[in-house]
Structure 1
Amino acid sequence: MMKHGLDPADRHRPERLSCSELAIRRQSMEQFLNVAGPQIDQLYNLVCLSGCNVLLTDAEGVVLDQRVNDADAAQFREWGLWQGVNWSEAVQGTNGIGTCLVEERQVTIHRNEHFHTRNTAMSCMDAPIWGPDGRLLAALDVSSARADQTERYNRLISAQVAQTARAIEAIFFHASFPDARIVVASGEGIAGDGTGAATLLAVDKDDLAIGATRAARRALGLEREGAIRPRPAADLLGREDELSGFDKAERAAVARALARAGGNVSAAARALGIGRATMYRRMARLELGEK
Structure 2
Amino acid sequence: MMLIEIVLGVLAAMLAVMLSAWAFGLVVKNGGWTDVFWSYGTGVVLAGAALWPLDGSGNLMRQILIGGFLALWGLRLGAYLHGRVAGHPEDPRYAAFREGNPATYPLRMLWVSLPQAPASALLAVSVVLAARRPEPNLDVRDLIALGILIIAILGETTSDEQMRRFRADPANKGQVMDRGLWAWSRHPNYFFQWLGWTAYPVIALDPAQPVTWLSLIAPGVMYGLLRHVSGVPPLETAMLASRGDLFRDYQRRVSVFFPTPPKDK
Query: Normalising to structure 2: TM-score of the pair?
Result: 0.29
Structure having the higher Rg? 1
Higher relative contact order (CA 8 A, sep 6+): 2
Query: Normalising to structure 1: TM-score of the pair?
Result: 0.27
Higher helix share: 2
